[in-house]
Amino acid sequence: MLERLRRQDTRLDDYIDRYAARAHGMTASAIRALFAVANRPEVVSLAGGMPNITDLPLDVVGDALNDLVLHDGRRAMQYGSGQGEPAIREAICEVMRLEDISAHPDDVMVTVGSQQGLDLLTRIFCNPGDVVLCEAPSYVGALGVFRSYQCEVVHVAMDDQGLNPEALTEAIEALRAAGRTVKFFYTIPSYHNPAGVTQPLDRRIELLRIAEQADLLVVEDNPYGLLGFDGDPIPPLRSLNDDHVIYLGSFSKTFAPGFRVGWVLAPHAVREKLVLAQEAATLCPPVFSQYAVTAYLMNHDWRGQIKIFREMYRERRDAMMAGLTSHMPAGTSWTKPEGGFFVWLSLPPGIDSHAMLPRAVTARVAYVPGTAFYADGLGSRHMRLSYCFPTPERIIEGTRRLGEVLEYEARMLEIFGTAVEPESGRLALGPREAPGPDQT
Amino acid sequence: MADNGYLPTVVVLSGGLSHERDVSLRSGRRVSQALRSRGYEVVESDVDTSLLSRLAELSGSVVFPVLHGEAGEDGSLREVFDLLGVPFVGSIGSACRVAFDKSIATTVIGAAGIRTPTQVALPYETFRELGAQVLVRALGDQLGFPMMVKPSRCGSALGCSKVTRPEELPAAMVGAYAYGSVAVIEEFIEGTEVTVAVVDRGRGPIALPAVEIRPESGVYDYTARYTAGATRFLCPAELDPDVANSCADAALRVHGALGLRDLSRTDLILTSDGEPVFLEVNVSPGMTETSAVPLAIETAGWSLGKMCADLVHAASARGGKTDPLRASIGAR
Ligand SMILES: Cc1ncc(COP(=O)(O)O)c(C=O)c1O
């Protein structure tokens, strides 16, 4: 039967020669596939950054949505404004006031999560090859956006107070001397994802001074600003400067991510371009979601709810700190987050977080290798641990398992010497290697 | 289709806790769809603590394991099905145990007269006991470069690397040990990559047309396997008829020597003089959109649905308990 069969000659994708250059990096990744295992209850996942909405009062939300449909359904289910509904833009200004940002609803544009804000900003500002400055490490979702617009990401070093001012100055000077166009610098000043650090006020002032001097735009991404564990929030960059800073906000962490409602606060001219870009992208952001969020804000003590979230995350942060202190081997260090979801762990020299992930999965614990947060392939000596989702007991158990894995890695290192390739030799695979948004 | 028109419920098992969970879920969806297209009632199930009670509720059903890696392919789950008298598609546990371990399978296949790469299987402790530097040097001297380093029990090319220089060997070893405690180090065989599926639809095993694999990147790694477009497949492979026959023959002999049942896929390298060299065999071959077996089935003029239905029918007719004689052949 082997003869006379018609030969198939196929790459199993009939469209393969038609994709744009920007789709070329969209490939399967073994590391990313491992996160499928992290979904299983046997695994303690310290990988995903899913907000923990267990404490949301579903009855309150349910009643508000019911009322919404019954009383305002025809408007809520209709097309709306490209800029976003007026009522929610007013409410957004009220939310921002909690962090000392004063803004007019006209300067706010609603987005499909702050993720879309990043997308639209990059769309209106960046040509292929333009440079975007990012922290080292930076938010994986932002790196994905910058990559998809074919920007070049240049990372700027951080210290335990966030972005390092000297490194920023040097990077700007070096890039400009090389004739490169730097379009903006993207920063997460509070409770950084993934680094878990926060810029103190004087650092913020210094960074803004540098940006002004260099006439560089700052994109401030602040989804966690209200989730600080101690004291009052540190003023966002936007509250200190309103012409060099474009601000991204989100209800994903203070309410719920499923509505996909975030916003951009931008200088007037930029906002106008953004609205046109938004109309081209979606016609208008989801009207029903905006009405739903507004109804929630009006019918529920959302400030009290944020306090509840904050305490819940604080308890988990404490568990993470306790677990790491008990179970991490010598030579390991980590950041001590004052808010948000994440801890950045640095491993003893020679241990590669990327290479050891399969073993961790076998030991039923998951994390995101540091390489996901770099556009240039660095980061293998680090990992991101998130404490937002598992219970405190599970977090501690997770650190225990991780400690065992690291011990094993140390033994391997002892046997094989510095088996790890030099960091610079690695292929830049970063952003695809983080878990997808649906994975814990 | 069952003789009296009665179709058993099929429990398609996919997922599990292995490193290939994601691949398995994709394979499972495809097999489930294929069976549904033939009129079967399909229950898709993960492997978890509720599996056995689920199977008890669905008594009379046939299990179709589409699990890759560990528990799915090492035979452990199949031993449980056997014990419980649940009919299932595919090879019995003891045969899987031998087939899944690359080093053990290679030994058995070599003894059956098929060429295999020169290889050693080493747990990491051996490196500690003998000293890694000395052992790495000895491996280089004996096997030469390039060489292949693989976890002995894993699929989808996870943890595999081609090592071209001595300095790369330690990192490759660490990469393989990340997936399991034993690594296989073997000579690299230059040649054409082909894979041959063997299917037994109740009238004895036959080999499907060989699939030739030409990854665009040159390496058939995880990305090349599961990104549509990243690999060119030719089926039947562009081979002289006698070479094609010797590939088919090798795959059938592998299937027989290991006492495999229903379905297997043997990966071969064809040397420049047309000799097939055994690389590994899969008792639960990938069934994803980018997998070779569905392509071979299509080329042969069958449909995936028909083939899966035939396998279910055979399993159902066989019933639950493996007869001890066959089991002992598998355990050889
Ligand atoms: C720093 C940062 N920016 C943006 C986002 C995206 O959030 P949204 O749900 O608003 O799109 C996240 C979510 O994890 C984040 O951590």
Check residue B154 and give its pLDDT. 86
Query: Residues of B with CB below 8 A from A11's CB?
Result: 216, 228-233
| Residue ID of nearest Cα to ligand 1 atom 16 | A193
How many residues comprise chain B?
332
Check residue B156 and give its pLDDT. 87
What structural domains does chain B harbor? 10-90+310-330 (3.40.50.20), 97-115+190-302 (3.30.470.20), 119-187 (3.30.1490.20)
Does B124 sit within 8 Å of A358, measured CB to CB?
Answer: no
**Structure tokens belonging to residue A212:** 């002004």
Check residue A52 and give its pLDDT. 95
In B161-241, DSSP assigns E strands to: 161-163, 182-187, 192-200, 205-207, 211-215, 231-235
The C-alpha of A322 sits at a distance from chain B's nearest C-alpha, in angstroms, of 27
Separation between Cα atoms, residue B164 and residue B172, nearest integer Å: 11
Separation between Cα atoms, residue A123 and residue A18, nearest integer Å: 22
Interior/surface letters A365-394, b for 16+ CB within 10 angstroms, e for the rest: bbbbbbbbbbbbbbbbbbbbbbbbbbebeb
Does A33 sit within 8 Å of B222, measured CB to CB?
Answer: yes
Does B174 sit within 8 Å of A416, measured CB to CB?
Answer: yes
Among A109, A119, A158, A221, which residue has the most ligand 1 atoms within 8 Å of its CB, making it the best to mutate?
Answer: A221
Query: Residues of A with CB below 8 A from B248's CB?
Result: 2
Does B228 sit within 8 Å of A355, measured CB to CB?
Answer: no
Check residue A2 and give its pLDDT. 47
Check residue A437 and give its pLDDT. 66
Question: Which residues does residue B207 pair with via DSSP β-bridges, in sequence order?
Answer: B198
Catalytic residues of B: 20, 156, 226, 265, 267, 280, 282, 286
Chain B CA closest to residue A408: B178
Cα-to-centroid distance, B87 and ligand 1 (Å): 48
CA-nearest of B309, B318, B319, B308 to B7 is: B309
Model ipTM value: 0.90
Strands B42-45 vs A342-346: parallel, antiparallel or unpaired: unpaired
Does A12 sit within 8 Å of B132, measured CB to CB?
Answer: no
Minimum-distance CB partner of A33 among B22, B48, B175: B22
Cα-to-centroid distance, B245 and ligand 1 (Å): 56
CA-nearest of B71, B29, B26, B73 to B51 is: B71
pLDDT in tens, A361-383: 999 999 999 999 999 889 999 99
Cβ of residue A29 closer than 8 Å to a chain B Cβ: yes
pLDDT in tens, A334-355: 999 999 999 999 999 989 999 9
Check residue A25 and give its pLDDT. 78
Check residue A292 and give its pLDDT. 97
- Please list the ranges in chain B whose pLDDT falls under 50: 1-2, 325, 327-332
Give the CA distances from residue B223 to residues A3, B30, B161, B216, in Å, rounded to whole numbers and listed in that order: 32, 19, 13, 11
Question: CB count, 10 Å around CB of B240?
Answer: 9
- Please list the ranges in chain A whose pLDDT falls under 50: 1-2, 419-431, 440
Cα-to-centroid distance, A114 and ligand 1 (Å): 6
Contact B200, B261 (CB under 8 A): yes
Does B177 sit within 8 Å of A361, measured CB to CB?
Answer: no
Alpha helices, H only, B116-240: 124-130, 132-143, 169-177, 222-226
> Which value, in Å, is the radius of gyration of the alpha carbons in chain A?
23
The single residue listed with the structure tokens 């569905």 is B294
- Cβ of A262 less than 6 Å from ligand 1: yes
Chain B CA closest to residue A353: B178
**Structure tokens belonging to residue A298:** 């009006």
Separation between Cα atoms, residue A288 and residue A75, nearest integer Å: 8
Question: CB count, 10 Å around CB of A58?
Answer: 8
pLDDT in tens, A374-422: 998 899 999 999 999 999 999 999 999 999 999 999 999 989 876 444 4
Check residue A50 and give its pLDDT. 93
Using CB atoms and an 8 Å cut-off, which of residues 342-361 of chain A contact chain B?
A: 352, 355-359, 361
Question: CB count, 10 Å around CB of B246?
Answer: 18
CA-nearest of B10, B81, B75 to B42 is: B10
